[in-house]
């Protein structure tokens, strides 16, 4: 079996829980399953809880240029853009990703017009996935929106790029809870879910494989997809039959 060396990769998890640190985040508990795999493979890993940071709303790179007194986004973005892999974690609220996750996506979108060293859009050559928790249905619905947004701005999405855990419909324990309605839970809620464990493992390794492949070939060729070439007038001559 081919066993790639993932040790040169960097992964950043952005937890879009509504809870500020140090309050327990169930999403962070499932993120830990994926992080443990990454760390075992010697990947450089960092987790950011987005709500802990003073990030302004908006779709510009720095919102202090647009009336906001403070905006930590430019600092956070420097960490995000260094990572080969971005994993967005979110709880489900009313069947949707959290408002914090939507805010993150909007700020990522704000940077999508920037270019890399090849003149391509800045997220080319990087991969993304998502981890979702809740106690009602909605994993696939939330993943659909998150992963569409990520590929639209330039991230690459491997197979099986989402995972999650939800309990029974209605009030109940969340992922990792050890007690519910004064009853001890052993193992903690969700820990014995073969489906969640399998999907989290497959997602993590598929992200690693795609990131490793892209990094080893220095991302995508700029042939035919360089915005710099297009803006400089070197775009394809679509009137020429040779290019049809």
Query: What is the domain partition of the chain in residue ranges?
Result: 10-243
Q: Please report which helix (H) or strand (E) contains residue 174, including its range.
A: none
Token match 């809880």: residue? 49
- CA–CA gap between residue 243 and residue 241 (Å, rounded): 5
Q: What is the pLDDT along the chain (244 residues), one digit of tens a residue?
A: 678 999 999 999 999 999 999 999 999 999 999 999 999 999 999 999 999 999 999 999 999 999 999 999 999 999 999 999 999 999 999 999 999 999 999 999 999 999 999 999 999 999 999 999 997 789 999 999 999 999 999 999 999 999 999 988 788 899 999 999 899 999 999 999 999 999 999 999 999 999 999 999 999 999 889 888 888 776 555 555 554 4
Burial (CB < 10 A; 0-12, 13-18, 19+), residue 120, is buried
Q: Was domain 10-243 assigned CATH 3.40.50.360? A: yes
Is residue 189 classed exposed, middle or buried when 0-12, 13-18 and 19+ CB atoms within 10 A define those classes? buried
Q: Which residues are 90's β-sheet partners?
A: 132
Please state the pTM of the whole predicted model.
0.92
């Amino acid at each position: 079996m081919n066993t790639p060396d993932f040790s040169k990769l960097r992964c950043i998890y952005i937890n879009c829980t509504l809870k500020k640190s140090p309050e327990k985040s169930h999403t962070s508990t499932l993120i830990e399953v994926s992080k443990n795999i990454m760390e075992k493979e010697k990947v450089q890993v960092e987790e950011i809880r987005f709500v802990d940071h003073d990030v302004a709303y908006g779709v510009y790179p720095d919102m202090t240029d647009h009336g906001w007194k403070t905006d930590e986004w430019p600092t956070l973005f420097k960490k995000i853009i260094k990572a080969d892999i971005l994993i967005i974690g979110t709880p489900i609220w009313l069947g949707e990703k959290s408002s914090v996750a939507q805010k993150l996506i909007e700020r990522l979108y704000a940077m999508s017009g920037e270019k890399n060293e090849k003149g391509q859009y800045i997220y080319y050559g990087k991969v993304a996935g998502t981890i979702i928790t809740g106690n009602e249905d909605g994993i696939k619905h939330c993943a659909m929106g998150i992963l569409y947004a990520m590929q639209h701005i330039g991230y690459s999405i491997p197979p099986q790029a989402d995972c999650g855990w939800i309990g029974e419909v209605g009030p109940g324990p969340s992922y990792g809870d050890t007690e519910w309605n004064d009853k001890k839970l052993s193992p903690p809620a969700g820990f014995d879910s073969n489906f969640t464990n399998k999907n989290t493992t497959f997602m993590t390794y598929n992200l690693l494989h795609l990131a490793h492949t892209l990094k080893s070939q220095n991302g995508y060729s700029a042939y035919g997809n360089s915005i710099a070439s297009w803006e400089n007038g070197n775009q394809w001559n679509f009137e020429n039959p040779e290019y049809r």
